[in-house]
Chain A
């Protein structure tokens, strides 16, 4: 029964670990650059989920906006991870935008986004 409690009590962590591994695998192993970027997005989203899940409080805690007559710490969820993740989301969007711009540059040059095709093109150019 302890194992069950352990697994259920920490289910948020299992979710983010699985998501993160999917993203990580796509980032390293996929052949297509666009798919690598999608993997990067999943990877970062998993970290955001992890942070946000640390802010939750059971026992009737509500969103972090002060309401009349309620001013105790246990009545609101923790605002700090939300703040950090707002920042991290913006960082993630920025990285994604820059990576897309670089992808467009690559596509203009090689007319493909498949890694092995680009390598073949480069090999051919070297021989000429």
Chain B
């Protein structure tokens, strides 16, 4: 169980760190094309910022920022973005996950459409990984008690 410790240093440092971590997580997702990074890595960093919040404050505080249902919906949304892009490719007349057909809806040529497609699925992966990591952590750390019953 995670319980609350009043500690000015930890709270201040994490208050400063969390936005920076989240910004870095977004950068890692968005810049996965040109440098080491991508959806999984960025999603894990984003999740780490939430976990830091839980450790520095407590689960209640973290939950007030992101409720459990929202988190579950985000898990689904991430996978759905990935699968939706795949199905969109099928609807546009290509094979499953063949991003080059996306040039029919995006103002770019087929090769660049692949670039955009990769970016789209990385966002989906990032959302899914972040939400799932947070969800697994919260469930295991709190023993799965219902919302409001956590300490």
Q: Please report A residues at the B interface, Cβ cutoff 8 Å.
A: 63, 65, 86, 90, 97, 100-101, 104, 108
Contacts and interface: CB of A to CB of B under 8 A. Distances in A.
Contacts of A108: 143
Interface string B31-61: 0001110101000000000000000000000
B139 A101 contact: yes
A90 to B, nearest CB: 6
B68 to A, nearest CB: 15
Instruction: Tell me the dominant secondary structure on chain A's binding face.
Output: helix
Given A86-B40, A90-B40, A97 B34 contact: no
Given A86-B40, A90-B40, A65 B35 contact: yes
Given A86-B40, A90-B40, A65 B34 contact: yes
A77 to B, nearest CB: 13
B10 interface: no
Contacts of A97: 136, 140
Given A97-B136, A101-B139, A104-B143, A65 B36 contact: yes
Interface in B7-35: 34-35
A104 B141 CA distance: 10
Contacts of A86: 38, 40
Interface string B114-145: 00000000000000010000001001100110
A101 B34 contact: no
Contacts of A104: 140, 143-144
